[in-house]
Structure 1
Amino acid sequence: MTTILFAAKRADWAAYEAPLRQSMADLGVSADLVLEADPAEVDYLIYSPASTVQDFRPYTRLKAVLSLWAGVESIVGNTTLQVPLCRMVDPGLTEGMVEWVTGHVLRHHLGMDAHIQGQDGVWRNDVVPPLARDRRVAVLGLGALGSACAQMLAQLQFNTLGWSRRPKDISGVSCYSGEDGLRQVLSQAEIVVLLLPATPQTENTLNAESLALLPRGAVIINPGRGTLIDDEALLSALDTGQVGHATLDVFRAEPLPPEHAYWQHPCVTVTPHIASETRPVSAARTVMENIHRHLNGAALLNVVDRATGY
């Protein structure tokens, strides 16, 4: 009998058990779904990096680890993990990210903060935003989440630019790649959305040099990873007005410490890593469909490339 071990946070079991069992029934997956098991008898791990399982060597029968998180940077370097690692690519997670990114892009594009600040009786109608087609918005990172967000922004008629390390072709999006491409994108972008993975190559993508390329007053929106930004460089750019505002959902340390300068800065909006939560119902279906594929001889989906880290 196939054994599937739920090796995420114990507190998440209550939310995931019923959706996982329902997906098993719907797909006809015959297996034992358990919260505890002899490691030597486990075939699949449904996993989050917050799990107590950090040494995979006892799992001698293990065929794959299926992460409930989109980010895998905290596990991909684990040398005891020798089987395929599948990251979470879930329609619900993607939809949530598209909604969050679109909402905040529109917020900054329309100048909502200035229009509603204080509700103090002041009639502020001196600044009228351009139409979306005249606003240049860049999405850095064109994986599943970045591509979906860029496509939505393009559908709203934004002049949408996209950048990735490797060439991409997305309808309605002007796609760039490579270091020269990044400089070209940043030099045009009035709003920048960061959706790159956390790897050694992407750390501090926005630093003093790259922030200086932006049109003065550009807006940064980061629902990707905290390591993508050099915090001191961003704070300096905010102080000088080179960057007009930063809306940040992810940070190097989470929860963001109360004494961090981002909390007090008037040109920073902090949100508590809520851009797109994994929804148990859709995530359970995604994980179980992947296990079902593998049990029936098909290749696993969304397997992490250890060389690139995503």
Structure 2
Amino acid sequence: MTVVLFAAGAALWPEYEAPLRRALAEAGLAVDLVCAAAPEAVDYIIYAPGSPVQDFTPYTRCKAVLNLWAGVERIVGNATLVQPLCRMVDPGLTEGMVEYVVGHVLRHHLGMDRYILGAKGWEQIVPPLARERRVAVLGLGALGLACARALAALNFAVEGWSRSAKPGLGIAAAHGDAGLEAVLRRAEIVVTLLPKTAETENLLDARRLGWLPEGAVIINPGRGALIDDDALLAALEAGRLGHATLDVFRVEPLPEDHPFRAHPRVTVTPHIAADTRASSAARVVVENIRRGEAGLPLLHVVDRARGY
């Protein structure tokens, strides 16, 4: 009997048990889904950051570790993890991210805060059309590309950027250091959707923030470490940037006394842009179990060298 260990934490078990069992039944897989098992008997581990499983050495039979989160930075560097690691690429998670990004891009594009926050008088400030608004999406993985295409479908002038070339995406895209400078110098709204790696940490530092046009807006639902916090606050204080909408932070929950909390040009949302939904995530996990049992290549395997 194939043994699948749910090691994503006791708090998530009530949420995931029924969807996982349902997905396993739909896939015709007869497995033993458990919360505890002898390590040498486990074939697959369903994982989330904060799991009690931190030493993978005893799991000698394990064929794959299946992460419930899109981010893997808290596990990818674990030296005991020699099994294949698969990150979560969930259609439901992607939909949620697209909705968050499109909603906040439209909010800033249309200048809705002016009215939502109770502007007085009758100041009729007409925004440009979407095709006249340049939006940069940094990161063209599954989430970034989906957001870029959704914004392009609304006629925004979208430019994407990735660390390496990604041709044939159907949107304008640049790569490398020179490409990043060119994209940022044109961007009125910037969306950051890169993974956290050694190469992307503090990607938006004081120098690169200085490339942005005056009044530009940043939306970060990717990773808190992508932006230098002090440099961002300095740019906002100086009036160089118009606003920052932030969903992710270096420390979460964001401390109550953090300067972002009270800053008039910062919107803080509590890491809600794209959550993993048990019903759709369970099907992603089970599909990899099915593929593993059938001897097929696993989906969404993490490249350890790149960190995602």
TM-score after normalising by structure 2: 0.98
Separation of aligned partners in 1, 2:122 and 2:46: 52
Which among 112, 124, 131 is matched to residue 133 of structure 1? 131
Whether the aligned pair in 2 keeps the contact of 1:151 and 1:171 (CA below 8 Å) is no
Deviation at 1:171, TM superposition (A): 4.8
Query: Any idea what the Cα deviations from partners look like across 1:166-211, whole Å, max 9, x if unmatched?
Result: 1123555210000000000000000000000000100011110000
2:22 alignment partner AA? Q
Match of 2:146 in 1: 148
Quick one: distance in 2 between partners of 1:221 and 1:205? 14
Distance 1:172 1:190 in 2: 21
Spell out, residue by residue over 1:256-296, the C-alpha distance to the aligned partner (whole angstroms, 9 max, x if none). Answer: 00010000110000000000010000000110011101111
- Indicate yes or no: 2:74 matched with 1:85: no
- Aligned CA RMSD, in angstroms, stands at 0.9
Q: What's 1:219 paired with?
A: 217
Counterpart position of 1:179: 177
**Distance of 2:191 and 2:47 partners within structure 1:** 28
Contact preservation (8 Å) 1:44, 1:65: yes
Q: State the SS of the aligned residue for 1:10.
A: coil
Residue identity matched to 1:149: C
Distance in 1 between residues matched to 2:294 and 2:278, nearest whole Å: 24
| Pair 1:49–1:132, CA change in 2 (3 A) | same
Give the counterpart letter for 1:70 in structure 2.
A
Of the three residues 275, 293, 302, the one matched with 2:300 is 302
Residues 112-147 of structure 1: CA deviation (Å, up to 9, x unaligned): 0012213x6x23433111000000000000000000
Match of 2:164 in 1: 166
Report what 2:285 is aligned to.
287
Which runs of structure 2 are paired with 1:31-46 in the superposition (5 Å)? 31-46=31-46
CA contact (8 A) 2:63 2:292 kept: no
Looking at structure 2, the residues matched to 247 and 124 of structure 1 have their Cα atoms a distance apart, in angstroms, of: 26
Separation in 2 of the partners of 1:123 and 1:165?
46
* Mapped contact 1:115–1:124 kept (Cα < 8 A): no
> Which residue in the other structure is 1:113 paired with?
113
SS at match of 1:183: helix
Aligned-residue sequence identity (percent) comes to 65
Give the distance between the partners of 1:196 and 1:288, measured in 2 at CA: 26
- Matched residue pairs, number? 308
Q: Which consecutive residues of structure 1, in runs of 5 or more, have no partner in the other structure?
A: none
TM-score under structure 1 normalisation? 0.98
Paired letter, 1:128 = V
Is residue 292–residue 298 contact of structure 2 (8 Å, CA) maintained in 1? yes
Q: Structure 1: which amino acid aligns with 2:73?
A: E
Structure 2 distance, partners of 1:124, 1:53, is: 59
Q: What SS does structure 1 have at the residue aligned with 2:167?
A: coil
Cα distance in 2, alignment partners of residues 104 and 143 from structure 1: 20
1:32-70, CA deviations, whole angstroms, 9 ceiling, x for partnerless residues?
000111111000001001101000011111110000000
State the one-letter code of the partner of 1:28. Answer: G
CA distance in 2, matches of 1:29, 1:228: 40
What is the one-letter code of the residue matched to 1:237?
A
> Matches of 2:163 and 2:194 in 1, distance apart?
10
